[in-house]
Each structure stands twice: as structure tokens, then as C-alpha cells.
Amino acid sequence: MSLRERTTWEGRPGLITWLPGHRPLPTETVTQVSGLCLTPDARILLVSEDGRAWSLPGGKPEDQETWEQTLRREVAEEACAEVLRWQFLGAQRVEGLTPQPYYQLRYWARVRLEAFRPAFETRHRLAVCAGEFAQRLSWGAGAIGQALLREALEAELQASSGVGPGSA
């Protein structure tokens, strides 16, 4: 079931639609691949440039890179973590912020933390319990944030029981 939320980014109004399981066509623009990354103790990994505004690890696909390769590279670069398993959750279609709509892809990932050595734009890493998800992410308490959290926790449960998600 798709969900819609209105948003504002840098003063511009936009519309975000959560599309569970939707994979954009090759002709459609994907600007971001992010992971709702869980540690072995079921904590959710967040990253930040300034220690105040938190986000999921992720970023823009590079030339000839698959979405899963983008996920693995971005989680390693931003969060100093290795993606061990993953599952595609769906796409957010973003309209109104740019002349053409674009997509942001979301994955569940099980990760192994490595020593944190800040690089690139990330200066802070935090692992929070599911209850803190909505408090730390500006969009985490919204309908899309909560749906994403539920889907990721379901993927984690399936993976823990030996069912489902892919592995690296």
C-alpha cells in the first residue's frame, strides 16, 4: 500500500510517495540508495554531518554501479560498517522539489560495525533502538518513516529465523 506525505525542502513544497517493493525503470532517476541498517544487537545505524541532524547511511549511485553495490559502498564510507545481508524494501517517489520526479530507494541491511573513522561528509555515527528511530530522524515519526521501520524490522525477523534476505 502506497503512502503519501507532503514535505518542504529548502522552502520548496514537495510530495513523497512510499511505494513498497517498487523498482524504478532504467529510464527513471534514482538519486539515493539508503539502508535501514541493523547491528547484530538489533540497533539501527544512523549517521550525521553535525551530530544534530541524523539520517540513514546512503547516497547517490555511481556510474555502472548496481543499487546493492551503492548500498554496500555508501554504508562502508559513511558508517564504517560492512553490509552482510540485505533486502530491497521499496522506493520513495519525490515530486515537486525538482523539475522531474525522482526516486530514493530503501533497503533493510544487517551490518557489522567496524572502527569508526569519520570520512567524506559523515562525522558522527549512532546506533539506536527502534524506539529512538522516530526521535532521531526528522521524518521518522511520519507514516512513511514508521512503515519503513515496520518493514525493516519484519525483514530482520525473517533473516533471524533463516528465511529470506540476500547475503553479500
Q: Domain residue spans in the chain?
A: 28-160
- Determine the average pLDDT of the residues in 144-161: 93
Cell representation of residue 35: 539502508
CATH fold label, 28-160: Nucleoside Triphosphate Pyrophosphohydrolase (3.90.79)
The pLDDT, as a whole number, for residue 165 is 58
Burial of 155 (0-12, 13-18, 19+ CB in 10 A): buried
**Dihedral over Cα of 109, 97, 143, 137: its sign:** positive
Q: Model confidence at 160, in pLDDT bands (50, 70, 90)?
A: confident
Give pLDDT tens digits for 91-129: 999 999 999 999 999 999 999 999 999 888 899 999 999
What pTM, to 2 d.p., does this model score? 0.92
- Written as nine digits, the cell of 13 is 513544497
Do residues 47 and 55 touch, judged by C-beta distance below 8 A? Answer: yes
Q: Quick one: pLDDT band at residue 2, thresholds 50, 70, 90?
A: confident
Is pLDDT above 80 for 150?
yes
Let me know the angle formed at the C-alpha of 42 by 47 and 18, rounded to the nearest 5 degrees. 65
* Most confident among 5-9, 86-90, 115-119 (mean pLDDT): 86-90
